[in-house]
Amino acid sequence: MAISEVKPAVADHGTGETERPVPLWAERVARLLPLVALPVCLWRLPIGFGHRMGMDVAAETWPRWLSVLYVVSLSLLSEAFALLCRGLVRPWGETFPAWVPKLRGRRVPPLLVAVPAALSGLLFTALLVDWVLCVFHIGGFSDVPYTNGWWRVLAAVVSGLFTLWSPMVLALTYAYWRRRQLPITAR
């Protein structure tokens, strides 16, 4: 019997039907991912409307509408990608949905999901390294100057939460890959 013909198992903690049960920690991480991205998305919004959020920098020379469009789009994309990571713990990350022509109901090749997820996790790891170097002024790196220390701390906390994204995505990707690679009989 082929792997794609096996009836999916039901996870004990309500994750829905997947080939194998999703670890509880992975389900929780996938639920937290959009919440980790939310503070930095909210932090960006006033910047789009011209508020400097304590940054001691010159005002943007872009038209206001372009700045708002950029910041809102970036925030929406961040949240969309965070929500898309739910596919690493959901059935729609393992089986093509009914609306996909010619592929509906077929098993999603694990590499089709794991490679983009791992690459995005590694990309955000580079941002994590940049954040650490800039916030702690390591090796000559520095961040944007702020009008006072409170703004600097708030910016570091908000952006620091966002840097948790990379280890979270990489851990979810590993759990997805491991779960999808084990023989069906292994539990």
H or E, element range at 9: strand 9-10
Predicted TM-score (pTM) above 0.75: yes
Say which residues have a Cβ less than 8 Å from residue 3's Cβ, sequence separation at least 6. Answer: 19, 107, 184
DSSP string of 101-166? TTTTTSBPPHHHHHHHHHHHHHHHHHHHHHHHHHHTT-TT-----BSSHHHHHHHHHHHHHHTTHH
Q: Residue 86: count other Cβ atoms within 10 Å of its Cβ.
A: 17
| 57-103 pLDDT tens trace | 887 788 999 999 999 999 999 999 999 999 999 998 999 888 889 99
